[in-house]
Structure 1
Amino acid sequence: MDGEVGRAGSGGPAGRVTVYSVPGCPHCRQASARLRELGLPLCEVDLDRNAELRPRVQELTGHGAVPQIFFNGVHVGGNEDLLALAPEELQRLVRMVRDKPVPLDVLPLPGEEPEEGEPRDGEFECERDDFADMIVGFKRSGVIGRHRRGLREWQHAVTGEQLVHWLQRGQGLDRSEALETAKSLMERRFFNPVSGTGQFEENSTLYRLVEHPRFSLNAGETAECSPVMAAELSEALRHLILKLYAEHLSPDGKSVDYKAMSQSPSFQRYCDLAVQLQRVELHALSREEKLAFFINIYNVLVIHGHLRLGSPQNVWQRYRFFNYVSYLIGGAVFTLQDIENGVLRGNRKGVAQLMKPFSKSDPRLQVALPNAEPLVHFALNCGAKGCPPIKTYTAKDIDRQLRTAAEAFLENDSACRVDRAKGEVRLSQIFKWYKVDFGDTDEKLLNWILNHMGDSPKKSSLEEVLNAPCYKVLYMPYDWSPNTTD
């Protein structure tokens, strides 16, 4: 079939196949590879960059998932729909593209280049901080050392007195200037007190450079750029890591070559950029800004963790991965568990956690959302057969974006299956693990799902099941297998 369908006419096809996709989507990659085998003109439209097209594409297709495929103006559906086409129907569509031009009333294609003023993938303007050279000199001064307080020893620390003395001796400042400079270094988050928070004091209080502890994936280096807006930095990081991910995704979309990705020069640029998270300002973020920022950071941190540490292979390795893979953000360490359960779920216990992530005295609690946001579970990772059509979340339209991601997730049978005859609903383990976020009872859970589904036969079936005198909720096994190449 492929040989017959794949031969284009000598004059070249008159039409085209259009695929609406997002970077790093495995099912988009599978569909594009299949379509290229057919020898037809293929135009891929990135809905991550061309966000203005998302509502129109969803209106035309009735789906929030990607890819969405059009032969000229005929909507075929997603990757599974393409693979399920009967041979005769596929041949008809290919002949149409060969023989007929694209209708005038189809959705126009965007330009390939970003509009003027629009940032390119991974582009970030670093304005060097006025104090950066001073910090570099301080690190080389030999003042940083070990200090014992009671039974505990603090490494990489300096007292307030030592810092002021170094500023006087090493920078030629008088005492009042040195004291004001030390306070400025604290305000600009170059230093943290080793315990608690507060103003800088010229006494025996211990301070450390914010780039410690070194176990965070973006620690150990000085963030030399002036502090930037959190949303701007997270979006730049997200675009760059997605570009890397897409470049190393296999043609069939089933695996990622993490080893090659970790050796890419683009990955080093990403690591340099992630260092700047150390000093971003978090406390002034609105609810919408926090959602967008921490969802984006969680997703890039997962990929960064895979690149540095490899993919977890068992329960213990997964526990360690999510509890130890971390970034230094705004002067504090945030693990994957901290971001998901501490910030985005309003400081609720996570899976296999005995306590809440943040204690009442933890300064990170000030960053946490006041309440859990259930929709984040469909944005933190693309675990469904059709990925959400949004890879970078923005504060401006975050709630609509999250609802779209939920609809895309629920469209797939890997997330939700409804058997009307048996009165059964089979759900992803996500709904079992975080059931409290969706109402904590089967009835509330299913009503939540119903209210977040797009119009579809599956939604109608779920309504019938809910109206029945009894029904059963079951949970499908979760596929933890890594998507890396050998």
Structure 2
Amino acid sequence: MEQEEPVIQQELAGRITLYSMAGCLHCHHAKDHLINMGLPFIEVNVVKNPVIHQQIIDLTGRLTVPQIYFNNIHVGGNEDLQKLSQEELDKLIDLVKNEPVPADAPPIPESEIVEEGIRKEESVSKIDEYADLIMDFKESGIIGSNWICLRLYQNTFTGKKLVNWLVDNKKIASRHSEIMQDLIVKLFSEHITSDGKLVDYKSMAANPVFEEYCQHTTQLQHLDVSDLSRKEKLAFFINLYNALVIHGNIKKRPPKNAWQRHKFFNSISYEIGGKVFSLNDIQNGVLRGNRKGPAQIMKPFSNRDPRLKAALEEVEPLIHFALNYGVISCPPIKAYTAQDVDKQLKISAEAFLDCDDGCQVDVSRKEVGLSQIFKRYKIDFGGTDEKLLKWVLEHLQESPKKEALEEILDHGKVKIIYLPFDWSANSKD
């Protein structure tokens, strides 16, 4: 069997710059494409560098990531990069190989935060992911001496002691949670279109990584989510919600009507910390701070429900631009990290409002068209038309659309219309 030839990194006089954010699927695809061509690049995380992000928005007129530059030449996003003809690509590669970085090239941080975009195999041994657990086990004190058949054996333990230690040790569940997050990102990046809108369910179901992910979901029953911080809960439950929708669609097939959707979102669930959380429990109980859903009579969790400890203290409206119900009109699917989740959600909201599916402004008619998401969860955005429009205005990126909304708001009453919502399944085929 022939071995794959290693990718040889090319020497560049100039610079390829990729502006990205963690969990962005199209960023992942773009980086893989450059790496497979052996092209080194500088990656700038726009979440960690908001000033630079605003400069890139001003330069490109685009809110989305990635944005890719060859020296001072703006290529665009991942789709633009993939669509380059071989002739166009060769010219760009020749440019960065032979021409130094010009003065008008886009900015990068002065600090050492930027990362070289070529993956190299490490020559040192990688520490086993469960090594720290083994050390904890050795230091736990349960390893001692045991009499077996009237003979004393040193450095042994009973099965009962091991089981009790495993049940009590939260690191096991936490480790599985981290692994699941990595698997989710891998599955999303490989089987979701670059715009985050469509899922190739058939190919995902056949991927061994999906089976591995399913196996790890059984370990969620040992995870105590009540101890998670607000940011950890946001990232964990948003990612888990989107993955559970996909998992449910693969195992049960996507719902086709309102009744099937009601049943789907109330029955598809994971066992987390010994408690069952359905999709509606995650969205309305946890992420919306235990608020009633659009079709619910009561709050998801009663005052005595132990799952209430997992709920956010207050509703976070920005989750509505991260959760995907598995249908066409939902926001794109991304993966979120606890460290940067607030900034990532803000960027997702701005991108959603910037597109016509999320928000439209008609100055002549004094009308604002908004996604049905704003109608279904109006209470989360203030509860009144006035507060809703104010929220939208505050979360629009500086743009002609924002200027138009400011103009009609300054001239009296504004009519809100809600745009059609496509409940068709987001299946790629």
| TM-score using structure 2 length | 0.71
Deviation at 1:326, TM superposition (A): 0.6
Deviation at 1:380, TM superposition (A): 2.1
1:358-416 deviation digits (Å, cap 9, x = unpaired): 1222111222222211111112239779858x62221x343333222222222222111
Deviation at 1:19, TM superposition (A): 5.0
User: CA-atom RMSD, angstroms?
Assistant: 4.5
2:155 aligns with none
Q: How many residues align?
A: 374
1:479 aligns with 422
1:72 aligns with 71
What does residue range 79-478 of structure 1 map to in structure 2 within 5 Å?
98-99=94-95, 101=99, 103=101, 107=108, 110-113=116-119, 127=133, 226-228=169-171, 233-249=176-192, 255-381=198-324, 387=332, 391-394=335-338, 396-478=339-421
CA distance 1:476–1:31, shift in 2 (3 Å): farther
Counterpart secondary structure, 1:228:
helix
8 Å CA contact 1:22–1:46 kept in 2: the answer is no
| Cα distance between partner residues in 1 of 2:349 and 2:130 | 30
The answer on 1:58 being equivalent to 2:70 is no
| Cα distance between partner residues in 1 of 2:43 and 2:218 | 28
CA distance 1:403–1:302, shift in 2 (3 Å): same
* Of 17-26 and 310-319, the range deviating more from structure 2: 17-26
Deviation at 1:285, TM superposition (A): 2.4
| Cα distance between partner residues in 2 of 1:252 and 1:447 | 28
| Cα distance between partner residues in 2 of 1:66 and 1:24 | 11
| Cα distance between partner residues in 1 of 2:230 and 2:120 | 29
1:424-480 deviation digits (Å, cap 9, x = unpaired): 111111111100000111110011111122222221111112112121111111222
Larger Rg over CA atoms: 1
Deviation at 1:290, TM superposition (A): 2.1
Deviation at 1:257, TM superposition (A): 2.7
CA distance 1:254–1:32, shift in 2 (3 Å): farther
The one-letter amino acid of 2:65's match is V
8 Å CA contact 1:345–1:372 kept in 2: the answer is yes
Deviation at 1:99, TM superposition (A): 4.2
CA distance 1:43–1:476, shift in 2 (3 Å): farther
CA distance 1:434–1:471, shift in 2 (3 Å): same
Counterpart secondary structure, 1:69:
strand
| Cα distance between partner residues in 2 of 1:360 and 1:429 | 30
Counterpart secondary structure, 2:324:
coil
CA distance 1:344–1:454, shift in 2 (3 Å): same
Counterpart secondary structure, 2:276:
strand
Counterpart secondary structure, 2:357:
coil
8 Å CA contact 2:29–2:189 kept in 1: the answer is no
| Cα distance between partner residues in 2 of 1:364 and 1:355 | 15
Question: Which ranges of structure 1 fall in alignment gaps of 5 or more residues?
Answer: 1-11, 131-180, 191-225
Question: Which ranges of structure 2 fall in alignment gaps of 5 or more residues?
Answer: 1-10, 109-113, 138-159
| Cα distance between partner residues in 2 of 1:57 and 1:445 | 30
1:265-285 deviation digits (Å, cap 9, x = unpaired): 212221222222111122222
| Cα distance between partner residues in 2 of 1:340 and 1:410 | 21
The one-letter amino acid of 1:59's match is Q
8 Å CA contact 2:133–2:171 kept in 1: the answer is no
The one-letter amino acid of 1:66's match is V
The one-letter amino acid of 1:112's match is I
| TM-score using structure 1 length | 0.63
